[in-house]
Each structure stands twice: as C-alpha cells, then as structure tokens.
Structure 1
C-alpha cells in the first residue's frame, strides 16, 4: 500500500495526503513524502505512452491504472540541437503537448491523483497555460472545472479553456488577487484546489522533464535555462535531477539558470541581494505573461534550488524578448513570449566551448496574442 504524507515546508507539520488539504495551518506550503521505490533504467516501461514510461517513479499505487484514463500522451517531447552553430545547445520542444504547453506534465499527474481520490470538481487559478491544461484533463476525466483568470489573460487561452467546457470566472485584479479569489471559492465551496503552485503532486509531473533529458542525453546536461514565475517547471526539474542523483544515475546536478522578465523580477531582486525571502514587486507589464508573478509562493524553494546547483538568475528586457522571439522563429520555433525570454537569457549566458545546455520551449506561439 502506497503511503503518502504532506510535510509543511515551514513548520514541518505532517498531514495525511488527502484531496482537501492544500496548505498548512501555519500558512506554509506543503511538500509530499512517499515511499519511493528505487528507480533504475530497467524500470522504464518503454511500452507506455509519453512520460508514463516512468510510472514507477510517480506517486500512484502500483496496481492503479487511473492515469490510463487521464493521459493524452503528454511527455516524450523532442530534444533537438538549437542550430548547427550551437551543437551542444539543445531545445526541448515541450510545446508539443496536448494543450501546447509543458503544464500538461503536472496537470496530468494532479488530475489523475484527483481521480484516484474520487474528486468530482476542481477549482484552479492561472495566467493561462495551467488553466488550459486543467480544463482539458478535467473534461477528459468527467470532472467539473472552474478556472479563475485575470482580465488580462490572452484571449486565445480563454477560448481554449472555454472550448474544454470549463466555467471561466474572471477577476479584475493582479495575478495574486486571481489566486486569492480562487482560494476563497475553494474554502466556501469545499472544493478540490487544483493548484499548480500549492499542490505538490503537480511537481511530480514536471519532474519528468528531467527524467526525459537524462534518458535523451544519456546523462545530465551541464546547464538548464528555465523561465520562472511560480517555479512549476524549475522545481520539478530540480526534484527530478535530485532523484536521479540519489539513485546514482547522474553524477552531478546541472546548473539551473532562471530567467525573469525585467519588468517583473522579484526572484532576481532577492537573489542579487542574497536573500531567500522576496519582496513583492509591481508588475510593470511584460509580454512574458507566463512568468509575470509579483510574489511567487514557493520563492524560498526556488532560490534554494538555484543556489544548490551553483546557478543564477538573469533578467530580460522587453525589447530583448521581442528580438529573441523573432530569432527563434527564424530557427523554426514559433513560441510564446515567455519562452522567448528564455532564449534572450541564453544569449547572455557566458557558455564554455563544450558546455551542454538545455532550454525548454514551454508554450506554442499560437497561444499568445
């Protein structure tokens, strides 16, 4: 029998893993602990779709097949050289997902866990991509779904969420106020909070990004460059490579280089001031809407992960993001501005001659205005 518990990252209180606990009584965020089996190459199930080839490393009962009714083939995305001029730099085309963004990794696992628990309705808040993922997977598993969005959300993402039959609840406010409205509704309605920030099962999904890179490169890269707002991909990548290191499948952790838009960069500010806590900043407006988070809830964990790998944080100006967007398109990759910020940061990175670098292409350009 699989034993799962929640551990508060702040006060270390322990809670049972249930669908209706999403934060500690002290207000702290929860991490998940479970009896993880030793993982090896022999346990990779090549006959399973996408990221579920690593099912033995995911927190489901060994006899559970609930994910089979949830999956749409997410994961197993291509890892290709950026160009002939950069043979040691790779892009992982994570927009080749069912809803066209990497968020499908986390949403698939979280919704499968919710289905295993018997959840009938979910509430989520999003700047767009997480909302499209949750809406799609909730519909596939016949769950009711309310998605809270800010009025500045891309119309294309709103249309995608609506197409999946979700109930859209618009909030005229900041990204943080959108989250607060969703949390209030969760409390009032007693509904499952499918949060890609607060629910640690989401990171069990995004960690498969690291597993795939490890398998595709036959080891860890030297550096991964990741756009970060709430840190859902960065924390998953860190967790995944830490697990691989613990099993002796890699010899070291890759350096994590985090990217923020200069117009909304609370993590960069904290990092350069050598703090593990953040000060909420004013979002001055950025086309990289996916990382425009003024006060990321898991800031301390994000900053810790970057420092543990010897990484750093770089910011990108709006004009740099626009130029990077055009440059990627010339290479054949049509991406969201958030991903373009990632490439803008890569252009600033002082790489060595043989340094192996991986950049995620997080979302398709068709989703953005």
Structure 2
C-alpha cells in the first residue's frame, strides 16, 4: 500500500504526487524530500513481528512489501568497551544499500514502469539489480570504469544490463539521468529519491531496539552521497518526536581524505559544498566529488552537534586488516569509520556500521 506521502522540494517548495516518475524538482533540479508522517511504535509493540526492517512498518512510507529479501535485523557486536559495530554487510547483497533498495524498488514495482535505471559505484547498483530481479522489473545499472570486478559480477548475475561509463562517479550519474528522461523510466537513484533514505533509517531503528529503547552516545557513519547519515537523521528525529528517546546523538560523518568535499565545507562553515576533483581512494563507495544532498548533510551534522572526520587510505587499509583479524572481513569503504574511531575515539558509547563485505573487493593491497 502507498501511504499518504508526496514528493516535496526543500529549496523551492514544489510538491508532486509520489506516482509521478519525475525524479527531481522540475523547477530547481534539486532532489526530492518526502512529506510523510512516521508513527513509530513503542518498543514493547515490536515483539513477535517479522524479522526484517519491515517490522517498523508504521515508520515507513510503504507497507505490505512483495520484494523483501529478509533485509535488516543485522547483528550488533562489541569491538571495544565503548565501541560496537553493526554488521550491515550481512545483508542479502552484502551491503547496507539493501535497506534503501528494498523500499525504492517496492515503490517502482507498484508504479509499474517500463524499466528501472540506477547509477552506482557498485553496492547500490547491486542492491537495485537484486531487488528488481525479485520484483520482475527490467533494470539497467550505470557504473564508472574501475568499479570492482566482483561488484560488476554481482550486478550481471541478477540479470541487470550493465553500462560501464568512461570517467568517474559524476559522469556515471549524468549518463543515468539522461536515460532517466525517457518515457516510462523509473530512476532508482539512491541520492535523489527519498524512499531510499526512509529505508536506510531502519539502521537506527534497529540500534534503538537492540539497545533496549535508547540510542548510542555517538553515531559514526560514512558519507559519500549521505544516504545512511540522512536516514539516521530522519530516524533520530522521528524517535524523538514520538517520545521514544530523550535525545538525538551527534552524527560523526567520515569521508575519505582524497575526496572530502563535505568535510572541507564543514570546516569552512559553508552551507553547501563545492565540487572537488575526482581522486583515487580505497574507499570507492564514498568517493563522491559533488554530493547531491550536500546542504542537507551539512545541516544534519550541525544540528546534531556532530562533526566530520577524514581518513587517509593507509589508515583505511590498516583498519580493514584490524577488523579482519577480529573476524570481520569488510570492504575498504566499510572500514573507514573504524579507521576514524581508532584515530580519535569518541566520548561515551559509539556504534560504527560495517557497510559492505570484503568479498566484494578483497583485501586492500599495501603500497
């Protein structure tokens, strides 16, 4: 069921029905937000519910899913006395992007487009391809050249058409948006479509449930396009508004040192981020030179009382190996938050997400 929700633009106020295939604001070109009122239920009401992210149905803009693959409810394990890791790489396609893809593709299935297109550095494209296969939807995924071969193999295995675009992440997004302009196309953009954010927010709902109705002192999240961070901001605001938590924890946003437009803007006190040149980094999943929701990300971090951290590739490599020696093999992007925490431990208890499996990329090679 499509609940009462409409796309809206924070920048210029345009609103449109969710049934529209318009993927961005027609007036200013900005990404959509969603006018939707979540109604999270108390902790005690969750007992006996389905063991996936759909257990939080009252907080989601869709219900009665068809495309679910059992995503969500990933383990929370202790790394130190004060830091725990949430193992979001234990998802159907081995990354946290399944949270957003589950809602986004469920929406597409209900709207019935001729085909779905997506762009990605790998994990989001894999997730969209898998859920489109589940939904029986024709899917094309655009990826930049240099994307990890294992991720390309995953996308192909799910039956999606693969378009490898010369250049980097921005060139790939432009190619997908051009294809999205054709009639009957649903653009499954994890950066533009707010349904993806309402899927990723379940990461925080699960933490709240696993911690007995409270949130960690600090939430540490990797940021490229900011889908996990903005989902976390949504969830903490909803839980606070419902009286289910007493405070919103600060959001510590982690970027790769070679590609850190948001960290640079935050340090300068800017409201928006200027594009930075593409650069090679082990953390390919967060190497986004010009994030679509930069203004929202910066605002969310500031309003939470949080901060930005950047990590160099050698730190990411060390963190990946350290996690592997603790029994947790994740891709380099998934190790970025642990690298930041090892360099500067937050006060109180913190949680880091391990977002993608190491089988997708292998162990980062030493220089």
CA distance in 2, matches of 1:291, 1:227: 7
Preserved contact between residue 77 and residue 86 of structure 2 (Cα < 8 Å): yes
Measure, in 2, the Cα distance between the counterparts of 1:347 and 1:37. 37
Deviates more, 1:101-110 or 1:279-288: 279-288
Give the TM-score of the pair, scaled to structure 2.
0.95
Q: Which runs of 5+ in 1 are unaligned?
A: none
Equivalent in 19, 36, 39 of residue 38 of structure 2 = 36
Q: Deviations over 1:99-140 (max 9, x none)?
A: 000000000011111112223421000000000000000001
Contact in 2 for aligned 1:151/1:171 (Cα 8 Å): yes
Query: Do structure 1's residue 126 and structure 2's residue 120 form an aligned pair?
Result: yes
Please state whether the residue corresponding to 1:90 is helix, strand or coil: strand
Cα distance 1:45–1:70, how it changes in 2: closer, same or farther (>3 A)? farther
Tell me, yes or no, if the aligned pair for 2:115 and 2:184 is still in contact at 8 Å: no
Report SS of the residue matched to 1:27.
coil
Unaligned stretches of 5+ residues in structure 2: 363-367
Instruction: Work out the CA distance in 2 between the residues paired with 1:38 and 1:55.
Output: 8
User: 1:157-183 CA deviation, whole Å, 9 max, x = no partner?
Assistant: 000000000000111012011001000
Q: CA RMSD in A?
A: 1.4
Using the alignment, how far apart are the partners of 2:345 and 2:354 within structure 1? 20
For residue 188 of structure 2, what is the aligned residue in structure 1?
194
Q: Which residue of 1 aligns with 2:78?
A: 81
Structure 1 residues 210-269: Cα deviation after superposition (integer angstroms, max 9, x where no partner)? 100001112011101111100011110111111001111111111111111110000010
Q: TM-score, normalised by structure 1?
A: 0.94
The correspondence of residues 144-155 of structure 1 with structure 2, limited to 5 A, is: 144-155=138-149
1:350 positional shift: 4.0
Q: How does 1:150-169 map to 2 (within 5 A)?
A: 150-169=144-163
- The yes-or-no answer on 1:246 pairing with 2:241 is yes
Equivalent residue number for residue 57 of structure 2: 55
SS in 1 for 2:215: coil
Per-residue deviation, 1:305:
0.8
Match of 2:365 in 1: none
Instruction: Map residues 1-369 of structure 1 onto 2, 5 A cutoff.
Output: 2-25=3-26, 26-37=28-39, 39-44=41-46, 46-60=48-62, 65=64, 67=65, 69-82=66-79, 86-218=80-212, 219-352=214-347, 355-369=348-362
Task: Describe the superposition over 1:265-322 as per-residue Cα deviations: whole angstroms up to 9, x where unpaired.
Answer: 0001000001011111012210100000000000011111111111110111111111
Give the Cα separation in 1 of the matches to 2:41 and 2:114: 32
Q: Partners of 1:329 and 1:183 in 2: how far apart? A: 38
Work out the CA distance in 2 between the residues paired with 1:305 and 1:294: 19
| Cα distance in 1, alignment partners of residues 38 and 359 from structure 2 | 38
Deviating more after overlay: 225-234 vs 47-56: 47-56
Farther-moved stretch of structure 1 (183-192 vs 253-262): 183-192
Q: Do the aligned partners of residues 198 and 15 (structure 1) sit closer, same or farther apart at CA in structure 2, a change above 3 Å counting? A: same
How many angstroms apart in 1 are the aligned matches of 2:69 and 2:40? 27
- Could you tell me how far 1:19 is from its partner in structure 2? 4.2
Partners of 1:10 and 1:29 within 8 A in 2: no
CA contact (8 A) 1:51 1:74 kept: yes
Give aligned pairs, total.
Answer: 359
Residues of 2 paired with 1:6 and 1:247: CA distance?
23
- Structure 2 distance, partners of 1:245, 1:37, is 11
Q: Using the alignment, how far apart are the partners of 2:37 and 2:321 within structure 1?
A: 46
Q: CA deviation at 1:14?
A: 1.4
Moved over 4 A (4+): none
